[in-house]
Structure 1
């Protein structure tokens, strides 16, 4: 989701506007990142990923983002989540539905019995609903919501999947490349803990900072420039793990996969024109200043209340 915020930054500071509704500040610019070289700009691409990708194989940088993202970062997150056949999954910040489609169709993913999703962007919600109409998922109940990832006590949030009064709980909660935006991430993690079944696991593809040096001046300057995350979310890898454990998660792991994410994504962006070259350069500065891309996970013990 970082590309969305880079594009938003460019809009705000350079006066560029995409065609979008009044309640959708981001539009569908990410479709351009999913098109293969030479594809018609007026055609909808086959995939609609909105994540930075997992560039384990360097030669993939020269291929399309579509081919790469479909089988890498999202699948790595799902593998970490240890999803089970017939399980109940909440997919938070699912964009225009590509991760939902993967959960319902990919041959290596156990098919969920219940799939819930939430996104804060109405256009993305409606597009996800439309795209899922073509998916045959007879054995899966699907419920999608519009709203903030964090539950707030008001009437409009009554059906929020993290409403503590909800009778629906989950085996897995997934957040693919988005939780660093939440206000706050810790609140989201606490709410998620209480909506997980005992033995349920949360898994996040997320951004934090290197353990050493902790949030140096360069990192603070770049974070303030990009407005990538709220101040309270700018924590180190060790602080991230401590936060999960303090909430009550066990078997906590925070895996640093920065080398397989930042350089590859930047290498993918830069050849796509001047604007993307600038975005890629700024993003690499963020990485050089201490930003780290991680896969964080933990589960709710069967003995917890």
Structure 2
């Protein structure tokens, strides 16, 4: 059975790259560069350094794992990803780059399953939990936040990029019904898309403090939509790719223009034990 999260994004990347996020388009014009740019933002917001032990929730095809290792020079990476085909690809990518230990420290599994965390970490608590452009796809983001807090080392950091419902958006409207339909088609749980104040409360209730939320919608949503329009016209996408990305691009352009969704960079520090 085909997986929803597969290797389709390879067609969007330059040769040798396999990024799979929405990108940060403030100055970038190529997909691989924009994807790397948003990963750099996340790593900087998280405060990654040579002492960092990273657990990457939803690492895709592995490009971001290499960024943590090569650019930030983190001490170790571990992680879990739902897609079997992506996880296999990421393992191969890490091993070819000379990071065999990291290749064996990432697993395929549901990030909402406590056993996946337990098996991956083996009682070694990470200093950082990262989720780059994927938390909205988790079955239950609140449960993920709770698991991140439970498994982080004391004063550990959670950093992610995620969608939020705009404060201006009215639930119960026709536009909201369209949003719900699009979320379902995109395999996004409606409960994961909440307003900023509720998102902040969910982090605080899980035991996180020093929460920082930065709205980067302007440099993410319209930029990705613009790129997809141009890329589709080049004829480089085959199979189901053109329709999949055309729908995503139009949806993001619509959601941004109508102030329905916001895309944010979020970080928080674990409080308590």
Bin for the TM-score computed over the shorter chain: 0.7 to 0.9
Query: Following the alignment from structure 1 to structure 2, what is the Cα–Cα distance between the partners of residues 245 and 157?
Result: 21
**1:76 counterpart (41, 44, 52):** 41
Query: Following the alignment from structure 2 to structure 1, what is the Cα–Cα distance between the partners of residues 180 and 112?
Result: 22
Is 1:282 paired with 2:212?
A: no
Bigger relative contact order, structure 1 or 2 (CA pairs below 8 A, ≥6 apart) = 2
Change beyond 3 A, Cα 1:224–1:277 = closer
**2:182 counterpart (188, 201, 225):** 225
Unpaired runs of at least 5, structure 1: 1-21, 36-44
Corresponding residue for residue 235 of structure 1: 194
Change beyond 3 A, Cα 1:141–1:27 = closer
Query: In the alignment, is the contact (CA less than 8 A) between 1:223 and 1:286 conserved in 2?
Result: no
Query: Following the alignment from structure 1 to structure 2, what is the Cα–Cα distance between the partners of residues 230 and 199?
Result: 29
Query: Following the alignment from structure 1 to structure 2, what is the Cα–Cα distance between the partners of residues 52 and 207?
Result: 11
Corresponding residue for residue 29 of structure 1: 8
Query: Following the alignment from structure 1 to structure 2, what is the Cα–Cα distance between the partners of residues 115 and 221?
Result: 39
Change beyond 3 A, Cα 1:268–1:81 = same
Query: In the alignment, is the contact (CA less than 8 A) between 1:193 and 1:300 conserved in 2?
Result: yes
Corresponding residue for residue 61 of structure 2: 96
Query: In the alignment, is the contact (CA less than 8 A) between 1:271 and 1:277 conserved in 2?
Result: no
Per-residue CA distance 1:53-93 (angstroms, 9 max, x = gap): 01112xx3xx32112322x1000001111123132100111
Q: Secondary structure at the match of 1:84?
A: coil
The CA deviation at 1:176 is 0.3
Kindly report the root-mean-square deviation, in angstroms, between the aligned alpha carbons of the 2 structures: 2.3
Unpaired runs of at least 5, structure 2: 233-241
- Tell me the TM-score normalised to structure 1 length: 0.78
The CA deviation at 1:220 is 4.1
Query: Following the alignment from structure 2 to structure 1, what is the Cα–Cα distance between the partners of residues 102 and 190?
Result: 38
Query: In the alignment, is the contact (CA less than 8 A) between 2:111 and 2:117 conserved in 1?
Result: no
Query: Following the alignment from structure 1 to structure 2, what is the Cα–Cα distance between the partners of residues 201 and 90?
Result: 10
- Tell me the TM-score normalised to structure 2 length: 0.87
Query: Following the alignment from structure 1 to structure 2, what is the Cα–Cα distance between the partners of residues 143 and 23?
Result: 25
Per-residue CA distance 1:100-128 (angstroms, 9 max, x = gap): 1111112xx1x222210111111111111
Matches within 5 A, 1:1-20: none
Query: In the alignment, is the contact (CA less than 8 A) between 2:81 and 2:107 conserved in 1?
Result: yes
Corresponding residue for residue 9 of structure 1: none
Corresponding residue for residue 293 of structure 1: 263
Query: Following the alignment from structure 2 to structure 1, what is the Cα–Cα distance between the partners of residues 147 and 117?
Result: 14
Query: Following the alignment from structure 2 to structure 1, what is the Cα–Cα distance between the partners of residues 209 and 83?
Result: 32
| Deviation beyond 4 Å, 4+ runs, structure 1 | 137-142
